[in-house]
Structure 1
Amino acid sequence: ALTITTTDTAGNAAFVEQTITVDTGIVTPTADINAGSDSAINNDDITSDNTPTIDGTGEIGASVVITNAANVVVGTGTVDADGNYSITTSTLVDGTQALTITTTDTAGNAAFVEQTITVDTGIVTPTADINAGSDSAINNDDITSDNTPTIDGTGEIGASVVITNAANVVVGTGTVDADGNYSITTSTLVDGTQALTITTTDTAGNAAFVEQTITVDTAVVTPSVTIADIDANDDGVYNAAELGTDGTVTATIAVTGSKAGDTLTYNVDGATPVTVVLTADDIANGIAIEVLPEAKVTATLSDDAGNTSAPVSATAFAADVDIATPSVTIADIDANDDGVYNAAELGTDGTVTATIAVTGSKAGDTLTYNVDGATPVTVVLTADDIANGIAIEVLPEAKVTATLSDDAGNTSAPVSATAFAADVDIATPSVTIADIDANDDGVYNAAELGTDGTVTATIAVTGSKAGDTLTYNVDGATPVTVVLTADDIANGIAIEVLPEAKVTATLSDDAGNTSAPVSATAFAAGCGYCDAKRYDRRYRCQ
């Protein structure tokens, strides 16, 4: 409180009182970027807000002026009754902003504080793509069999990366590295189309995003391999008849549930794999291949996503296709090699032996044979049968047909042999002595014998045929052969013989048949004839 006194020259005085406030100090202000403006990471003083709010404290009532490094005022305000201020700046350019916050009280005292902030309102737009290692099967088709795929991309260095799905659920996070790249493996994604959003946020809080749609496909159909059921006798072994002429069996690979464009890969016994890009027809009908007995067929299915099924396989049965072929041999009894059996060759029973050889077969195999198509006869072979064959007696012209079969069901081709025809019919000749015994006394007299002293013996060959041979002898002398003519057959062969001569005759034919011998003996001559003729031993006198 001041008193101001004035005194003039006369000594008069007067005064006035004046109260003033002397204020030579001021509260030093504080300043910080408002938490709402300090985007992304609080207290890092980096903001994506180019009109940030600066908060602070100062002397109550003091004016607040914010200037930039160029001393341009970018914001003003007043410290409120609580000693606080909050000032939103005018638009600041991106970059480092060295701000000075000056407070001036009513006494004119001023104080300041500096606050440096970074204004960053831009961000690099990110890129995204499924990692080649996750983009299974066909690269760049964005179809994967990996349900935790890796997403690669680029963005602003240091920016955080958040991957969300269509439901805005976070499925992966990461950070852009110093080279501007990121690589994030997602959490487990369900099968199907996944519309992913990859958002990068820098330290200033600026955000940018890119969308990446991928298809997750972790399922694949498992094929099946079926070997055709050609084992008709259910013995677990293929025989020749079951396998057919090409010796193979059909293996069918079913791919039900797959889709056109999927790939079937199969191999037989581990050989070079065969790949088939499936068509609708393949899916409907399967893929049929011919394989040998004991072949193992292994198959897998794979799809565009790179899924591959577990391998499946099936193995064909083993085969037993070897069967011996029998042989039929007709005994070689055709002694004269004329291709026809005669009675002597056939013997008394009129048959010939057919032997069925079964060399190469094994005990327990079955021989089946028939004669002239009659009811088949079956023989389960023994070691003796195999060693010696099976002998049967058959008639001329009989056809013997035989096959061999085994436990596997193999049956040999039929084999057969036919016996020669037979020609066993031969006429029997007859010998007749002319009936010149006029007095029927059983003795020839001179008158009966005539001047030459002989009697006629006629050999009849009725029933023979031209070309047959008559063989006769008289009293065992050198045989005489006559190849018969039609005249001989019609009239017989007449020879003159002495009394008591014995004429013996047989017939034979080209087949080698010979009739039984027949004979006749002339009567003796009487004594009267002896008196008239010289004595001869052929004539007996009584």
Structure 2
Amino acid sequence: MASANTISSLIFMANTPISLKFYDPITGAFLKEVTTTVRPNGLFVYSTSEFINGEKVILSGTDKQGIPATQELILKDYVAPDIQATINATGTIVSGTSEPGVTIQIKSVATGAVLGTAVVAADGTYSVHLNPALVNAEKIEAIATDASNNFASQSLIAPDITPPAAPTNLDVVDAGHAVIGKAEPNSTITIRDVTGGVIGVGTTDANGDFKVIISPAQINKEALTATATDAADNESVEAPFNAHDLTAPNAPTDIAIINDGTVVTGKAEPNSTIEVKDPNGVVIGTGTTDANGNFSVNLNPAQNNGQTISLTATDDVGNTSVPASAVADNAAPVITAATVDATTGATITGQVSEQATVVVKNAAGVVLGTGQTDTAGVFSFALSPAQANGEKVYVTATDTAPTPLTSTVYEATAPDITAPNAPTDLDVT
């Protein structure tokens, strides 16, 4: 770029004095006067590096006919205009100051596109309206260009009031201990559980990829959300996703074998698959639970008294519970012994083939006593009133199967330890 202006003229008389008066190009204010002399050959030449900004200069002297003369010139402008620029908080206006008459351009640094223009007013101010607004930390440049094509620029960054896009490509990995995905580069990722509690925080890399460690591990289809927060603290909307189901259902409960061993019922995880196996591991029935977790599975072949069956529940992703077992009980208890105490007639003891409730009645059907066997089927309980006169008592046992079964009646005889009444109606004949 040139750094000096050369002023020359041929209208003035040789060897005569010349006055040069310099004026501000914008305000017209007088700046300086310089006096020099025309060369002997009649050529006037004056160089200046002080006035290089388009100043006006008036030359005053004597022309070749000896008459006072003036000549007005505009010096070449080598100086770039000053510029000051700011962008407002909503990203809609760039304003500032520069030289009056200068053209202001706002350009995108990323694309080079001109986003808006204005001409600096006489008071040195300008305002450029942006449409659309810049609200996502865009980098822009404000460029001031004068009439001599000198230019200056100032870099700006638009306000960031735009939340990042919600995270994408979300997945729970590492056996439920981490979440991976993509979001705005260099943003903060927050993972929340269904209650809104934060279970993990991390950051994306320069490519927007992230892996966030979460605690506790999420392994049972838990509903989760992820958000991205940028450096300006703008947070994205929540991105919902679910953990994988890595958790086996609980073992089936409330198991009952009914309908003469042809059906098994119970409860397990809703919408799970129930598989029933016999003692040899052979599948003898399958079914599914309903939305409340109830199931009823047909068995083939029927399971008669004493078999132990096993049941498992498998969820929709293949996790299988530990087995639960149940014993088929389709036979009534058998009373093998029942004895009324021979000394008092007030107690009955005995043996049943399984755990059961024992009831003792007299010949009239009146209950004399009720009791429970222990786990080995042994029972002993009081009779009221005591049976001590050779009475017959009738014993039954009822088991605790889902469909209670009652034994056949076992007959026992009470001891006869009661003396007869004294003789009556006596007479000597």
- TM-score normalised by structure 1 residue count: 0.36
Determine which structure has the larger strand proportion and give its number. Answer: 2
**Larger-gyration structure (1/2):** 1
